[in-house]
Structure formats: structure tokens, C-alpha cells
Amino acid sequence: MVEQWTENPRVAGSIPAPATYWPSMPSHSTKYDWKDAGEEWSEPWGSSAAQWSGTVLPRIRDCLPTGTILEIAPGFGRWTHYLKDYCQELSAVDASSECVEACSRRFAAESHVHCYLNDGRSLSMIPDASVDFAFSFDSFVHLPREIVAGYLNELRRTLKIGGKGFIHHSNLGAYADSLSERVPEPLRKVLRKIKILDWEHHRNPTMSADVFRSLCARTGLNCISQELINWRGRRLIDCLSLFERDGSTENTSTKIVRNPRFMREAARIRRQSRTQT
């Protein structure tokens, strides 16, 4: 059973002091080998098709289909491939020219898919109040607080009243004061290798579910729900946040779910997809 509770963003935890941004693969500051077009990140599910149908779509089903979708950091279009079938217009925005070119080629025959290059923090090419649903998965987990804040400001501008967003981001900051974080890094590496400590998978330490809620409240967005999940380990170092631009000045409570069985879900979906195949 997963634990649930609600929390008012007005009394959410304070935002921690800035920390070093540890880039991950892929990031816009390093060259990534896209030979598998991002499919490698769906390996625990068996394939991106299995992950989409078993994990991603069930969590955003109430938001689809819709008129206009904005996808931030699509990579080589792993999720764009599915999102395009649920909307009339789709804008895919990435800070990597390689990714934008790859998506432009992949979806060249789809006249309603538009691919844009940005600066990694703004959405100047997206008109005000034009987006029904904003989406990003597997990318924001690496972004520091200040860039997430910038994107949320832009989403406040570009979302329609009633428009929603779903972002997969880091919750590593929730463990900033944990005992494991006080262990010297050389020893931490040894303890990870022998599976006493979890790997951090390059999650950004300046972000957490608390921080995301606080940023939403400051920006004028309403954080509807958050699912705290584990990622190839035991700690809940990731968060799936659903938010909306509701046009109200009143901050409502956020439904929060702690799900330590997220990777068990992935394993189950992988087994089922293999059986069906």
C-alpha cells in the first residue's frame, strides 16, 4: 500500500540553499551517444511501448486527449511518438540541436508536430495561454532548482486557464540531511557498489517535491498531486508532479503519494510485455 496525505503549499518546507549541479547523461553540457534513441532508459520496463502503456499513460490519462501539447526536452522523441496521437498540435522543445534535428526528421510526416530549439530555460517560441497540457519525463530529474523555476514561470504564461502539466523531476533534495549524505564520497562509492547505499543516478540535489510545490505556489500554479517514487533503488529520489493553471489566487492542498514499489511496477510490466510478446 502507498502512503497518502495532503499538504498546503503555503506551509511547505523552505527551499534549500543552492548546491552544485551534477550533470547527467544526457545533458546539454555533454555529448551523449543517442544510438538507441533513448530506448535504453526504458530497459527496466522492457521497452518504451511497455513503459508508456503501463506507467506513463495511466498517470496522465485524465489529461488526454487534448488540443495542444507542449513537450519539454523530448530527446529523440521517445514519448513524442505517443503524445502526438493524443492532440491536434504538439510542440517539442529541446536545448539540444541534435535532438531537435532528430525529432524533426522522425516526425517530418506529422504536420501537427513542431520542433523548436531553446536555450534550456525559456519557451519564447510558445504563445501566451496556448497550451492545454505540458509534459516532460526523464529530463527534469537532472535540472537544478533555478532552471525548474524558470520553466514553471514560462508554463504559467503559456498554459491556458485550466491547462495542466506533468513533470518528472528530482526529489533527491529531500535526503540532503540524511546520514548517507554525510558519508565521505569515496566511502559512499564503495557502499553503493556493494549495494548498502543507493546510486543517485545523477538526480539534482537542489530539487525535491517540497521545492517543486513551493515554486508552483510562488509562480501562481496549483500543484494538484505528487507521486514520490524510487528509481532503481530504495529511496524515493524522483517525483511525478501534476499541476495546473486554474486562474485562482487561492492555493489548494496537494495530494501526495509515497510509492516505494515503483520499480516493482516496472518489473511487473516487463514480465507482462515479455509474456505477451
More confident position, 248 or 1: 248
Q: What is the pLDDT of residues 76-102, one digit of tens each?
A: 999 999 999 999 999 999 999 999 999
Answer yes or no: is 30 within a domain.
Answer: no
- Beta-bridge partners for 241: 167, 226
In a domain, 208, yes or no: yes
Instruction: State the cell numbers at 22.
Output: 551534477
Is the residue at 13 inside a domain?
no
**Residue type at 130 in one-letter notation:** S
| DSSP notation for the chain | --EEEEE-GGGPPPPPPP------SS-TTS----TTTTGGGGGGGSSHHHHIIIIIHHHHGGG-SEEEEEEE--TTTTTHHHHGGGEEEEEEEES-HHHHHHHHHHTTT-TTEEEEE--SS--TTSPTT-EEEEEE-SSGGG--HHHHHHHHHHHHHHEEEEEEEEEEEE-GGGGTTSGGGGS-HHHHHHHHHTTSS---TT--TT--HHHHHHHHHHHT-EEEEEEEE-SSSSS--EEEEEEE--S-SSPPPEEEEEETTHHHHHHHHHHHHHHH-
Identity of the highest mean pLDDT range in 1-15, 105-119, 237-251: 105-119
The gap between the terminal CA atoms of the chain, to the nearest Å, is: 30
Q: What is the pLDDT of residue 171?
A: 97
Whether residue 40 lies inside any domain: the answer is: no
- Compare 20 and 203 and report the one with higher pLDDT: 203
CATH number, domain of 258, equals: 3.40.50.150
**Residue 69, CA distances (Å) to 52, 66, 75, 78, 114 in order:** 16, 7, 16, 15, 10
Answer whether residue 124 is part of any domain.
yes
| Listed residue (16, 14, 5, 61) closest to 253, CA to CA | 5
Looking up cell 515479455, which residue turns up?
274
pLDDT at residue 200, as a whole number: 78
Write the single-letter amino acid at 154: E
Residue 224 has pLDDT above 70, yes or no: yes
Is the pLDDT at 232 greater than 60? The verdict is yes
Q: What is the pLDDT of residues 139-174, one digit of tens each?
A: 999 999 999 999 999 999 999 999 999 999 999 999
Q: Which residue type does 105 have?
A: R
4-13, 147-156, 221-230, 245-254: least confidently modelled range: 4-13
Range of the domain at 178: 3-7+46-276
Give the three cell numbers for residue 151. Answer: 520553466
Reported as a pLDDT band with limits 50, 70 and 90, residue 234 is confident
Residue 24 forms part of a structural domain: no
Summarize the confidence of residues 11-24 as an average pLDDT. 33
Q: What is the pTM of this model?
A: 0.85
Asked whether the predicted pLDDT for residue 10 surpasses 80, the reply is: no
pLDDT of residue 4 exceeding 50, the answer is no
Pick the residue with more confidence: 266 or 184?
A: 266
CA distances from 10 to 192, 206, 240 (A): 37, 20, 20
pLDDT (0 to 100) of residue 194 = 66
Q: 186 pLDDT exceeds 80?
A: no
- CA nearest 127: which of 167, 165, 91? 91
Number of domains comprising the chain: 1
Per-residue pLDDT band for 29 (boundaries 50, 70, 90) equals: very low
- Confirm whether 261 is domain-assigned: yes
What's the number of CA atoms in the CB half-sphere (13 Å) around residue 29?
6
Confidence of residue 193 (pLDDT cuts 50, 70, 90): confident
Number of C-beta neighbours around residue 15 at 10 A: 18
Report d(CA 176, CA 209) in Å as an integer: 13
The verdict on residue 183 lying in a domain is yes
Residue 201: per-residue pLDDT: 75
Whole-number average pLDDT of the chain: 86
